[in-house]
Structure 1
Amino acid sequence: MTLGAGSDGARRNALFVHQSAEMYGSDKVLLYIVTGLLARGRYWPIVVVPSEGPLVEALRGSGVEVHVAEIAKVARAVFTPRGFLGLIGQMRTAIRDYDKVVAGRRIELVHSNTLAVLGGAAWAWRRKVRHLWHVHEIIISPRLVSKAFPRLVSMASDKVISNSTLTERWLVTEQPSLQPRSVVVFNGLPPQGEVSADAAEAFRRRTGARPGDLLVVLAGRLNRLKGQGLLIDAIARLKARGMLPALHVAIVGDVFAGQEIWRTRLVDQVAEAGLGEHISFVPFVDDIRPVWSAADIAVVPSTEPESFGMVAIEAMAAAVPVIAAGHGGVLDIVEHDSTGLLFTPCDVEALAQALLKLAHDPALRARLGAEGRRHQLSRFSAESQIAGVEQVYDGMLLEAR
């Protein structure tokens, strides 16, 4: 019998539980994994998300079975007595919902995508199904939360996939018992396809960049972590010194619902620095490829260590040179002066100098872009990620026999 197929040759069912229906980092990872698994034909993914949204549309368009149901999402509020009681109720609802989704089918394993969901772990425990936790986060503070999540993963998972060596190090440092169950599988991208010159130019026009400007792009959620404010400060510093090159910064992305204050603060920061003609805000875009086709420089200035850095490999896939804060999972992706430039995290001056260096050196931009693309294709492809995930699944099924 081929692992991953039942005795009748049918695909094995895998239940996926994911935290959102949007199209940011972990959402894209889920999309690439389940569509890849579907194409390979050995596992049948059944996806549960909490709401309708762009991810659901993309999944359905690719022929993936997807359901909207309770996911028992973890937020910091659950670390209170009232919040914990509410979470228990959500997990009970999730178990009932997944029973309806499964509808009597045999589920070989449950794949919880991100630490933010508990519904999958609860259903797997209740129905005695193997559970895999796919971790996309590094949580440093508050300390209570940083210690609680690895303990939870240790208690409720048969196997753990980390998206970077830094993520795995955090988990295993907090919970050494996870080491034998832990594996790193890097995120990857499927072939991106060609983007028309018209689509790229349309995005440039949307940003307000002038002809001849270098287009600098920061793509991601508008929040404290992603470093938009740091980039604005770096541009303001260059302008104050009369050293600002001919460039335009596009900050691409939206806030979480209820956190609109972050966008207001950033817009106010740009206005107070008198940078309105140099920095623009572009809401979330469904197809990121024209963004990177139009970009000359990508910036990933995260102020806290992130677990991976999908934006970095997306830019690399388009041969766009990357400037990144040198911490977190991005250290698995960017090698300084080879596949990009690293700067000291939270250092405005270091970021400003990196921008100047790339802005004034087109040959360096071309070299870093080309090397970055080769690196992405060789190490961060969807094909390699899906093969790694399948290998983990196969090992879990062997252990269960």
Structure 2
Amino acid sequence: MSMESKNHPKRIIFVENGIGYGGAIICLRHLVRNLDRSKYLPMVVTGRTSPQYEEIAGEAIWKHIPDRLIDIVGLQTWLASQTWPDKLPLLRIASQQILARLDDACNFLPFFLRLLWTAWRFKADLIHANNEPLCNRAALLVAKCLRIPSVCHVRGDQKGSRLMRWAYSLPDHFISVSNWVAESMQQKLNIPPEKISVVYDGIALDKLDTQADGQKFRKHFNIPDGGFAVGLVGLLIPWKGQNLFIDAAKILKDKIINLEMIIIGGTPEECGEYERQLKLRVAREGLSDKIKFTGHIDEMQQVYNGLNIVVSASISPEPLGTVVIESMTMGRPLIAPNHGGASEMITDHETGLLFTPGDADSLAQSILAFHESHALRQQLGQNARKKALQTFSVETHTKAIEAIYRNLLAKTACSIN
């Protein structure tokens, strides 16, 4: 009797320990909604909770297990700003080690124990970590303890310590969101190519309303009818490039009279000070009439249609941002940095415009190019949608992930027998 002919579906635990509600959890929800329930029963465990996370309970079994009982990141940020640790030899290193051990005792260990108990009670057959191995080492160790296979979704660059290299030794298989990420894993960590599957994130294409009323978004944020709205979409995290976006606004404010620069996205708890500094900078530099902050928005289709241009400005290579996938699928004019997954997906002057990473002048020139040519915006938007429809189907994504599960579970069954 084959594995799939058994009466009960295989139980998959998805663990999401990202920094906040962004592209990773949105893509996970698309996957969970579309899994074949006759073969797979999903449970989603998140380290955070909010109304957006709680909605998952309507799509799958959902459990919140806090992964940050003590704000170690805040303490580390505070310590980095202090000068007193440098007054004695090795004091800063000792302080950092104390915080690291406090993180292990107060955050990692409680989360690991509760997740182990949950997975054992759920009788999990496989664990799927939705983020990098280092932040999901608890989930991967739970899989080791229960002797079940683990899959790790890799969405970022491989920079870090020996601990990161050790964490990458834990998963049985990796799902990479782009070829750029897969190549990085092979080059930097010597991950065998047979342990990596490249699967582009999926979007429910039939549920995207390409005719969504963008005027609702514009009216809500007081964007005038003649305003040329340029939107940077992404969580307010330093590497997402909000400061670079503000630099470009300074360059363009006298060149595009009707310019409206919109910073769109929520702020993770530990980045509250970053948001405050951004807003202070905008006020201090006299840009309040050009730059708006929207915070988190649920109805992103209205946002995309309300913008004249969509921008991704990550200063560090991003694997394949959700903003790239969604804006291309919506057929919007898109500007992105020429690195990471964006450069893999966008062909310059065919499906979007690429600018020199970290270069505000280059970003400003790309915005000007789109501003000066409605025909360019229209043509590149149409080309982007055609490519997206071929690449980002959630059905294709889900089938590829299910095939990975089948192979891993079959290997496990063979090793047991």
Asked if Structure 1 and Structure 2 have the same fold, meaning a TM-score greater than 0.5 normalized by the shorter chain, the answer is yes
Q: CA deviation at 1:113?
A: 0.9
1:50 paired with 2:84, answer: no
Q: CA deviation at 1:245?
A: 4.7
Counterpart position of 1:7: 6
Q: CA deviation at 1:246?
A: 2.4
CA contact (8 A) 1:21 1:52 kept: no
Q: Matched residue of 1:138: which SS?
A: coil
Aligned to 1:391, which of 383, 399, 403?
Answer: 403
Aligned to 1:25, which of 23, 26, 32?
Answer: 23
Counterpart position of 2:130: 113
Counterpart position of 2:168: 153
User: What CA deviation, in whole Å up to 9, does each residue of 1:112-169 have, x standing for no partner?
Assistant: 11022222112111111111111111144xxx43x54243112x11111111112112
Q: CA deviation at 1:72?
A: 7.7
Counterpart position of 2:34: 36
Q: CA deviation at 1:338?
A: 1.1
Q: Matched residue of 1:307: which SS?
A: coil
The one-letter amino acid paired with 1:271 is A
Aligned to 2:115, which of 78, 93, 98?
Answer: 98
The one-letter amino acid paired with 1:211 is D
CA contact (8 A) 1:248 1:278 kept: yes
Measured in 1, the distance between the counterparts of 2:208 and 2:269 equals 32
Aligned to 2:351, which of 336, 339, 345?
Answer: 339
With over 3 angstroms needed to count, the CA separation of the structure-2 counterparts of 1:349 and 1:122, relative to structure 1, is: same
The one-letter amino acid paired with 1:160 is F
User: What CA deviation, in whole Å up to 9, does each residue of 1:1-34 have, x standing for no partner?
Assistant: 565x3522x2110111111595311111111111
Instruction: List alignment gaps of at least 5 residues for structure 2.
Output: 77-94
Instruction: Among all aligned residue pairs of Structure 1 and Structure 2, give the percentage whose two residues are the same amino acid.
Output: 26
Counterpart position of 2:200: 186
CA contact (8 A) 1:255 1:263 kept: yes
CA contact (8 A) 1:18 1:114 kept: yes
Counterpart position of 1:205: 219
Measured in 1, the distance between the counterparts of 2:171 and 2:96 equals 20
Measured in 2, the distance between the counterparts of 1:289 and 1:219 equals 12
The one-letter amino acid paired with 1:130 is P
Measured in 2, the distance between the counterparts of 1:150 and 1:68 equals 28
User: What CA deviation, in whole Å up to 9, does each residue of 1:282-340 have, x standing for no partner?
Assistant: 01112312111211110111111112111111111211111001111212221111110
User: What CA deviation, in whole Å up to 9, does each residue of 1:243-297 have, x standing for no partner?
Assistant: 2252311111132213222222222232233222221110111231211121111
The 10-residue stretch of structure 1 (124-133 or 18-27) with the greater mean CA deviation from structure 2: 18-27
Measured in 1, the distance between the counterparts of 2:256 and 2:174 equals 46
Q: Matched residue of 2:378: which SS?
A: helix
Which structure 2 residues correspond to residues 258-337 of structure 1 after superposition, within 5 A? 258-337=270-349
The one-letter amino acid paired with 1:174 is K
The one-letter amino acid paired with 1:135 is V
CA contact (8 A) 1:21 1:55 kept: no
Counterpart position of 1:364: 376
Q: CA deviation at 1:177?
A: 3.9
Measured in 1, the distance between the counterparts of 2:115 and 2:18 equals 16
What CA RMSD, in Å, does the superposition of the two structures yield over aligned residues? 2.5
With over 3 angstroms needed to count, the CA separation of the structure-2 counterparts of 1:341 and 1:382, relative to structure 1, is: same
Q: Matched residue of 1:355: which SS?
A: helix
Q: CA deviation at 1:344?
A: 0.5
Counterpart position of 2:234: 220
Measured in 2, the distance between the counterparts of 1:213 and 1:85 equals 50
With over 3 angstroms needed to count, the CA separation of the structure-2 counterparts of 1:188 and 1:107, relative to structure 1, is: same
Measured in 2, the distance between the counterparts of 1:152 and 1:202 equals 45
Q: Matched residue of 1:212: which SS?
A: coil
CA contact (8 A) 2:210 2:330 kept: no
Measured in 2, the distance between the counterparts of 1:86 and 1:273 equals 39
Q: CA deviation at 1:351?
A: 0.8
Q: TM-score, length-normalised on structure 1?
A: 0.89
With over 3 angstroms needed to count, the CA separation of the structure-2 counterparts of 1:75 and 1:300, relative to structure 1, is: farther
Q: CA deviation at 1:348?
A: 1.3
The one-letter amino acid paired with 1:152 is A
The one-letter amino acid paired with 2:54 is E
The 10-residue stretch of structure 1 (77-86 or 317-326) with the greater mean CA deviation from structure 2: 77-86
Counterpart position of 1:173: 187
Q: TM-score, length-normalised on structure 2?
A: 0.86
With over 3 angstroms needed to count, the CA separation of the structure-2 counterparts of 1:172 and 1:338, relative to structure 1, is: same
